[in-house]
Structure 1
Amino acid sequence: MNVLLLLSIILFILMASIGGKKGVRSFIALFLNFVIVISTVLVMNDPDANPIILTLVACSLISAISLFYINKVNSKTVLAFLATIVTTLLLLSFIFLLTNQAMIHGFGEEESDSLTIYSVYIGLDFLKIAISVIIMSTIGAIVDAAISITSPMREIFDQHPKISRQELFRSGMTIGRDILNTSSNTLFFAFFGGYIGLLIWFKDLDYSFGEVLNAKVFANELITIFIAGMGVIIVIPIAAWMTANYLVKK
């Protein structure tokens, strides 16, 4: 049996046994999101397509599936979805500016040897592709942080329906501060776990600390982690404010 198929079966069994029906929906949502990402990448091969627009549409679909399909349509998921969209739009201009100024789009010199046999004249705007990669890399962390704020705030309001808007907002911010550290560590160690081979390669090439920081392949991933962390930070007050205003007004 193929290893990937075996691991998928084990993952499905664990998610179904622990999460029940919601675990099964989570597994299906994971597959659907994978299909969306692959489809988006295939459409990006068209030089006439705009990668940023395609990515925003794909991220909206991924957010909707991750929130509405798994947790159904309710105030918690709707508010988390809106907070995710607002945060992504706020980050978009900053991502474009930073990617353009940092010159992290395209290929680094470390990748030049493996690309010598291929033609790089493929008619695609690598700046837009780099922006799309950053947006796609941040959406998961933003959605996770948003639902982690709106869901407990809804539970607090259900238990204390007479709570004021300010108190509910402060409770949401307190929850956000608690998850901020763990979210930042998750992003940080996910980067080093996935690129520890690259760091060992830099060591074998006798790169100085400055050369490592200025390597395009390293800076690209590090900037992505920083922007994802910024997205998590920004979505906390947005989700808390939107949830507090909606629930208390309702």
Structure 2
Amino acid sequence: MGKPAFYLITGIFMTLTLFLAAIYLISRNFAVVPVFLIVLLALTSIILFYTNGYNEKTKLAFFCAIITFLLMLLFIPFLTKMIAISGFTPEEIDELASLDFSVAVPFQALTTILIIMSMSGAVIDASMAVASALYELRYQGQVLKMKDLFSSSMKVVQEILGSSIHTLFFAFVANNLALIFWFSDLHYSFETLINAKAFVAEIVVSFLAGIMTVATLPFTAYIGSKYFTR
């Protein structure tokens, strides 16, 4: 087993440790958003710097990913509050009837963080893919001008975009196949289905993941073009 495999495997265990630590801190009444923001920052550092090394590509990908996460944090709370997808769904009430609901956890904040965490992997992958392509174009392809580098990188973005959208779509189908069959067994009408919190929440997460991943690609291309030709 070489060094890359060692860093990859140990990085996975470090990520798992971070999540367990976050759950423990929240159970001790620490604020949800600050805890998970620290976890997200550490997670991004592990994926990019620990696994892939500290270099120009990972620094660019880290910067663009963090900016994307901060932008998401600005508008996702308003969106989740507006469409009321936080908390438990009516379908889950029977299963949770024996549990104590008086927990000091703000589900609005928890939903926001869960949405950001669920799409963080796609955003990090997208930023790293574009950053790597930009680096090769700049230093191997000898593209010296910012305008030319951005134009070339956008061609790469177009190629990445198709595979990214398909990946997100298949992930949505795989994650929600059981939910779709469940709704089918319950004989939900179309009107009931599109108003079901569980279904709407998954749709919102999938759409946001797609939008933020797509937005990350040209954003990284533009910032990277300026960064590598500075």
Q: What's the offset of the Cα at 1:130?
A: 0.4
Which residue in the other structure is 1:215 paired with? 196
1:62-101 paired onto structure 2 within 5 Å: 62-101=43-82
Task: For 1:138, give the aligned amino acid.
Answer: M
Question: Pick from 134, 139, 142: which aligns with 1:153?
Answer: 134
Could you list the per-position Cα deviations for residues 183-217 of structure 1 after superposition, in whole angstroms to 9, with x for gaps in the alignment? 12212211221221111110011011222222111
Could you list the per-position Cα deviations for residues 143-179 of structure 1 after superposition, in whole angstroms to 9, with x for gaps in the alignment? 0000000001101111233531011112222212211
- Conserved? CA contact 1:146–1:236, under 8 Å: yes
Could you list the per-position Cα deviations for residues 11-60 of structure 1 after superposition, in whole angstroms to 9, with x for gaps in the alignment? xxxxx4xxx4212211221121111112112212233x221111111111
SS of match in other structure, 1:195? helix
Which residue in the other structure is 1:244 paired with? 225
Question: Pick from 226, 235, 238: which aligns with 2:216?
Answer: 235
What percentage of residue pairs aligned between the two structures are identical?
33
1:104-143 paired onto structure 2 within 5 Å: 104-143=85-124
The alpha-carbon distance between structure 1 residues 156 and 125, as it changes in their structure 2 partners (threshold 3 A), is same
Any stretches of 5+ residues in structure 1 without a counterpart? 1-15
Task: For 2:28, give the aligned amino acid.
Answer: D
Q: Distance in 1 between matches of 2:90 and 2:139?
A: 56
Q: Distance in 2 between matches of 1:152 and 1:29?
A: 24
Which residue in the other structure is 1:205 paired with? 186
Could you list the per-position Cα deviations for residues 60-81 of structure 1 after superposition, in whole angstroms to 9, with x for gaps in the alignment? 1111000001111000000000
1:2-17 paired onto structure 2 within 5 Å: 16=1
- Conserved? CA contact 1:149–1:175, under 8 Å: yes
TM-score if structure 2 supplies the norm length? 0.95
Give the stretch that moved more between structures: 38-47 or 216-225. Answer: 38-47
TM-score if structure 1 supplies the norm length? 0.88
Any stretches of 5+ residues in structure 2 without a counterpart? none
Which residue in the other structure is 2:163 paired with? 182
- Conserved? CA contact 1:36–1:58, under 8 Å: yes
Task: For 1:28, give the aligned amino acid.
Answer: T
The alpha-carbon distance between structure 1 residues 185 and 210, as it changes in their structure 2 partners (threshold 3 A), is farther
Aligned residues: 230
Which residue in the other structure is 1:27 paired with? 9
Query: How much is the aligned-residue C-alpha RMSD, in angstroms?
Result: 1.3
- Conserved? CA contact 2:86–2:107, under 8 Å: yes
- Conserved? CA contact 1:55–1:135, under 8 Å: no
